[in-house]
Amino acid sequence: MDPDVLNMFVIAGGTLAIPILAFVASFLLWPSALIRIYYWYWRRALGMQVRYANYDDYQFCYSYRGRPGYRPSILMLHGFSAHKDMWLSIVKFLPKNLHLVCVDMPGHEGTTRSALDDYSISGQAKRIHQFVECIRLNRRPFHLVGTSMGGNVAGVYAAQYPEDICSLTLICPAGLPSANDTKFIKQLRELQESERIDRIPLIPSTPEEMADMLKLCSYVRFKVPQQILQGLVDVRIPHNDFYRKLFLEIVDEKSRHSLHENMSKIKVPTQVIWGKQDQVLDVSGASVLASAIPDCHVYILENCGHSVVVERPRKTANLILEFLALLHSMDNKKKQA
């Protein structure tokens, strides 16, 4: 074989081998790096751009797509110990001409974390209002979406800043009294009785605990490789002390039933989406909200747990779009009347 041709094959083979070896090394040695690359890739693929906004000395990190238009902008608030990228699975099924904003909640990911900050639900709602004013999202009323802890904050926000929003979607929101003890509540009670409250099921520190958390939060059983479980844990471990502090703050008497205490003040059309097999927050909360909010539309998803956004992203996106279309149609009828 011609030496030049041989050299060409060697160079080509080396060029291909380098990224393959890098991927294998990352998977085996630095799985957390792959987790970050995964989110970076999907943000790029879906057209989400990351930006920062400052309120005095406080910094908010958020991602967005599209520009404000004739349809309401959508602001999404993630749950406990998550981040803005958890919404990517839903963003995938939303039209690209919708203006979407996903913000890191106070203390999470790229948003400022301060030991002096108020992480109660009311305190978080106040911070989100500051963010909204920073980016002038409330120039027109927007649609607010929140899940779990973020749902609690979203409901309180709707009650405290009613002029900012036109409608609301709550996905398995926290902050409500429960008619039944879920598996999560029973686990917490057992830990309290054994004085091992430091081992909170939603704050894993080993791959095995991460697997248990995924089983707790999801009805669908995802087969997650051990290395990916390790990567998910590695990403979270540096933040676990903060997550413990935050958890104790939001289950404190001041915040535990914040949504319940404020739901009678919610006057905008509200959509409630809940997984029927939720083992973290009992699905009976949906009927509590329906009985207190005048214009409330409830959707219970079969074969779905607490992680609705991950388990049923297409269905959730469609429900939000159908809800917004219904409200738009009703507004047009009022204008024509």
pLDDT, tens digit, for every residue of 87-98?
A: 999 999 999 999
Domain assignment present for residue 27? The answer is no
Phi, psi of 55 (to 5 degrees): -120, 105
- The whole-number average pLDDT for the span 194-208 is 84
- The whole-number average pLDDT for the span 18-26 is 38
For residue 108, pLDDT beyond 50: yes
Query: How far from chain centre, in Å, is Cα 187?
Result: 23
Which pLDDT score is estimated for 83? 97
**Which of 148, 255, 258, 307 is the catalytic position?**
148
Looking only at the bridges linking them, the beta strands covering 58-65 and 49-55 are: antiparallel
Question: How many Å apart are CA 130 and CA 153, to the nearest integer?
Answer: 14
CATH number at residue 99: 3.40.50.1820
Query: Cβ neighbours of residue 48 under 8 Å, at least 6 residues apart?
Result: 63, 64, 65, 88, 91, 100, 102
- The whole-number average pLDDT for the span 249-272 is 95
pLDDT band at 337 (very low <50, low <70, confident <90, very high): low
Domain assignment present for residue 31? The answer is no
Domain assignment present for residue 16? The answer is no
Domain assignment present for residue 26? The answer is no
Looking only at the bridges linking them, the beta strands covering 58-65 and 100-103 are: antiparallel
Task: Fill in the amino acid letter for 206.
Answer: T
Active site annotation includes 306:
yes
Least confident piece of the model among 46-55, 134-143, 153-162, 175-184 = 175-184
Domain assignment present for residue 35? The answer is no
Question: How many Å apart are CA 305 and CA 279, to the nearest integer?
Answer: 7
* Closest to 275 measured CA to CA, from 222, 337, 217: 217
Counting the structural domains of the chain, the total is 1
* Closest to 165 measured CA to CA, from 72, 231, 95, 229: 72
**Which of 278, 282, 297, 307 is the catalytic position?**
278
End-to-end CA distance of the chain: 84
Which residue range is the domain that position 98 belongs to? 47-335
Which pLDDT score is estimated for 3? 43
Active site annotation includes 63:
no
For residue 207, pLDDT beyond 80: yes
Domain assignment present for residue 39? The answer is no
Residue of higher predicted confidence among 19 and 170: 170
Which pLDDT score is estimated for 248? 92
Residues pairing with 145 in the sheet:
76, 169
Which pLDDT score is estimated for 197? 63
Domain assignment present for residue 237? The answer is yes
Least confident piece of the model among 10-24, 62-76, 258-272, 278-292 = 10-24
Residue of higher predicted confidence among 173 and 227: 173
**Which of 108, 143, 260, 306 is the catalytic position?**
306
Domain assignment present for residue 10? The answer is no
* Closest to 85 measured CA to CA, from 126, 132, 124, 38: 38
Active site annotation includes 148:
yes
Which pLDDT score is estimated for 20? 38
Residues pairing with 275 in the sheet:
301
Which pLDDT score is estimated for 5? 36
pTM across the whole model: 0.90
